[in-house]
Amino acid sequence: MKTSRREFIRQLGYVSIGFTILGAACMNTKEENNEGGGNAGNSEAATENSNRPDRINAWLRVLEDGSVLVLTGKMELGQGIRIAVAQMAAEELNTSPDLVEVNLAETGVTANEGYTAGSHSIETSAMSIRRAAAAAREKLLNLASKKWEIPVSQVSLEDGNIIAGTNKMTLYDLLEGRQISEEIGEPSEIYGKTRRKYVGQPVLRKDISAMVRAQHEYVQDLEFPNMVHARIIRPTSYTSKLASLDEEGLEDFPGFLKLVRIGSFVGVIAEEEFEAIKLSWEVNNRAQWDDDEELPAEVPLKEYLKTLDADVEVEEEKGDWQSTIEEAPIQHSASYYKPYIMHAANGPSCAVAFFDNDKLSVWTHSQGVYPLRETLAALLGMPAESIHVKGVPGSGCYGHNGADDVAAEAALLAVNLPGRHVRLQWMRNDEHCWEPYGTAMIMELQAGLDSNGKIKGWKYDFWSDGHSTRPNGQPETLLPARFLDKGHGVPGIGFKGGAVRNSTPYYTIETLQTTSHIFQGPLRKSALRGLGAYGNIFGIECFIDELAQKAGKDPVEFRINHLSDERAITCLKKIKEKTSNVRPGENEGLGYAFSRYKNSASYFAVAAHVKKMDDGIFRVKKMWGVIDSGETINPDGLKNQTEGGMVQAASWALREEVRFDKQHITSVDWHRYPIFRFEEIPEVEVEVIDRVDEKPLGAGEAAQGPSAAAVANAVFDATGIRYRDLPINPVEKYLR
């Protein structure tokens, strides 16, 4: 379609390539949709999204200055998706990554790719951008070939220019103001597989240096003209109802703009942030709450969870596992437990909202801008098309923390103060007490081994809440909805599939049964890095270690003897080599673990060197990891993801536990919810196995379960004592 130069510039001067590839994935996968509780909604934009398996839409905008704008529906969480997709586009367009810009998730601008979750970003969004860039390259080369009447083999594309001998022109000039928009098939060549000029290289992330210099713009840093500030007055419990509130004289406080009260939802808006904070203190002192429910604080949580009603289902069954176990010469059983744990983002959640002329704009670090838009529409009674949601990175968080909740709260306040940008920043106790946690789990295992130490029968039962209640078009998935006067209620169990993740061992076992017991627990919960895979792998890998001991086998060789996948075996052999010269001293131990995330994504083997200190606290001295994620896009990025996952999992295993009393959460700050301090972070060494001929595999959540198990197994190696309930170090040791 020919357009004028003015129209071309008005449309940002881009080449639009829309294409169809059966079986590829720039779309919401079934798992991503289920994790959020269903389809993102029924708005026109959501309908356009590539939920259909036979359609993929990706956009590349070739700008007038020669740079390329890449659009991804995924969010930057610290996982490095921005640099990865830039590398992939740069590779296919033979253009320096310095000339590639990336626009993150934004409704009406980027594709609706659901949530940035489940380690899908490279497998889905990045692969679609790769194909789009390759398709654009081939179309542009053909266009130049026809223009210059020479074979396409004599034409090349480099750094935004088309070149053929002495002929050279920019892509902008080549297009002559035309917009190219057509449906195409699979590109004939993927440079990322054949040339790898940028892909597979440790291209530096520009945002890291900006972070170090405090120049990086997070959602917490946003400023707008005449922006105002807000705070929420929190109830005393999950089920509190506002009984009374004395509003007299509040308008006389410095900076006061508005008190917003909708049922039991209460917020204050002021000109300056500290004025809003002081107002929230004053209003909190004036509020009276009625509480009608209590939390089960007087019963040990592991014991209490077993008393809850649960949906019981056999997830997988093979052979006569029961008789096999009962007749086995070597039998063993064990029970493991993980408590509720926090996302524990260093920067509390934040959002900015602006409402005017019946239109709402929200700036948020949500991991799903389209699902959030649909849910805000239902909460506010607005058409989804009247809401614009722009993703802005926040403090790194893997999973569903308070980002969506604070966005909803900011939106509710902005609707009540039109024409002003309303910035709502949570406080530390807001974040710790009201975010949705990673749920507690119980894992019970039985096994029977033959006289040669081979597992013949296996039984696994696990108890878990659902692992995701992300916004899905239903208002009750947002925290403020439960306190409004519309009776939205609270979400139910949520995404059961998250609980089942990695519950079936990747090892070769002749007979087995896996049974889930899904309950609805007492605390608010949602997706946290790895979901149920963390608890399941922790239990399975600790139990495997115990079986190896029962069989009198080396723990790594025992695992290898139960694997048929050569890539898994390679990872374990490499981790054994890495620790072959390690000689633990007194009160020190080495522990190992392995898993393949989701039994279909990255392979990961890990070792941990742990020491018991004089005060009885266990410290991790060093950790080693070997990861196989198929084709590696950025080895530094993959190492960073893996290292971070190992350290986070070690902190979970040794230190972290959400605590509560009868009324509410008591882990209100870093003293009462202790995470690793910098001096406690171990040395970490990660090797990446790059398999160019394989497809890339999700890696962001691969390290969690195995790393925690390796730490626990190392503690046993150091002490001869098996710690099966997390955290291993008593939380009381850190409370002060």
Residue-level pLDDT at 677 = 94
Query: How would you class 635 by CB atoms within 10 Å of its CB: exposed for 0-12, middle for 13-18, buried for 19 or more?
Result: middle
**Could you give the CA distance from residue 579 to residue 203 in angstroms, rounded to a whole number?**
29
User: Helix crossing, 704-719 with 635-654: angle to 10°?
Assistant: 50
The answer to whether 114 and 370 have CB atoms below 8 angstroms apart is yes
Residue 214 CB partners (closer than 8 Å, separation 6+)? none
Residue with token string 């103001």: 177
Query: How would you class 146 by CB atoms within 10 Å of its CB: exposed for 0-12, middle for 13-18, buried for 19 or more?
Result: exposed
Residue 618 CB partners (closer than 8 Å, separation 6+)? 610, 611, 612, 654, 711, 715, 718, 728, 729
Q: What angle do CA 108, 30, 403 make, to 5 degrees?
A: 50
**Pairing state of beta strands 68-71 and 60-62?**
antiparallel
The string of DSSP letters for 504-527 reads S-SS--SEEEEEEEE---SS-B--
Number of neighbours of residue 573 by Cβ within 10 angstroms:
15
Residue-level pLDDT at 66 = 73
Number of neighbours of residue 633 by Cβ within 10 angstroms:
28
pTM: 0.91
The string of DSSP letters for 531-585 reads THHHHHHHHHHHHHHHHHHHHT--HHHHHHTT---HHHHHHHHHHHHHTTT----
**Could you give the CA distance from residue 547 to residue 553 in angstroms, rounded to a whole number?**
9
Distances 377 to 16, 180, 359, 408 between C-alpha atoms, Å: 29, 34, 11, 10
The answer to whether 104 and 74 have CB atoms below 8 angstroms apart is yes
**Pairing state of beta strands 68-71 and 100-103?**
parallel
Chain Cα centroid distance, residue 230: 27
The string of DSSP letters for 181-237 reads EE-----S--HHHHT-SSTTS-PPPHHHHHHHTT----GGG---TT-EEEEEE--SS
**Could you give the CA distance from residue 390 to residue 395 in angstroms, rounded to a whole number?**
16
**Could you give the CA distance from residue 172 to residue 195 in angstroms, rounded to a whole number?**
26
Find out whether the peptide bond into 727 is cis, omega within 30 degrees of 0: yes
Do you know the residue count of the chain? 736
Report mean pLDDT in 10-residue bins for the chain, 736 residues. 37 39 36 43 36 39 81 88 93 94 91 82 85 88 92 94 91 68 73 95 88 87 96 96 96 97 97 98 97 92 97 97 98 98 94 98 96 97 97 88 97 98 97 97 98 97 96 95 89 91 97 98 96 98 98 98 98 98 97 97 98 95 98 95 97 97 96 94 98 94 97 98 95 67
Nearest to 546 by CA among 335, 703, 327, 705: 335
Nearest to 337 by CA among 723, 729, 732, 707: 723
3-state secondary structure of 104: coil
Reduced 3-state DSSP string for 26-67: CCCCHHHHHHCCCCCCCCHHHHHCCCCCCCEECCEEECCCCC
Residue-level pLDDT at 185 = 65
The answer to whether 46 and 37 have CB atoms below 8 angstroms apart is no
Q: Give the tokens for residue 542.
A: 């600790």
Domains and CATH numbers, the chain: 5-206 (3.30.365.10), 220-291+343-433 (3.30.365.10), 302-340+437-733 (3.30.365.10)
Nearest to 412 by CA among 491, 468, 486, 344: 486
Distances 574 to 234, 513, 624, 693, 717 between C-alpha atoms, Å: 51, 31, 10, 20, 20
Q: What are phi and psi of 394, to 5 degrees?
A: -120, -170
Q: Give the tokens for residue 204.
A: 């530096």
